[in-house]
Amino acid sequence: MRECEIAEAEIVRRTLLLSFFFVALFLLFRKVELGLGLALGCAGSIVNFKLLARNVRSLVKLTPFRVKSFAFKGYLLRYLFTGLVLLLSFKIIGLSFWITALGFLMVKLAIYTKYV
């Protein structure tokens, strides 16, 4: 289990480094609203990934009968969280909805840069 926690921490660290790079790039070109949208998407992505990791650690300890319902509840919780973050970026004037949605892909990009 320790290996999973190390990999999780490494993925979060890489995600933060990538997001800081892209946010700094947006700020360098004076696109503050794009940088804030990307930061919100990256933060949501990291929280979503941490929820997934916590859910997987809990599922390993459960009986096979309870796994399906527990996994489905975690799945719905993560989708609800993603929807709320995207709704927040849509409602706040000045944040870019599409850049926030791209921010949610940062964890995937961090995984690809490490393991592929």
Q: How many domains, the chain? A: 1
pLDDT surpassing 90 at residue 19: yes
Q: For residue 39, give the nearest of 63, 15, 56, 66 by alpha carbon.
A: 15
* pLDDT tens for each residue of 39-95: 999 999 999 999 999 999 999 888 888 899 999 999 999 999 999 999 999 998 888
User: According to the model, what pLDDT value does residue 2 have?
Assistant: 86
Write out the residue range of the structural domain in which residue 107 sits: 2-115
Cα separation, 40 vs 56, in Å, equals 24
Query: Across residues 17-42, what is the average pLDDT?
Result: 93
Distance CA 80, CA 38 (A): 19
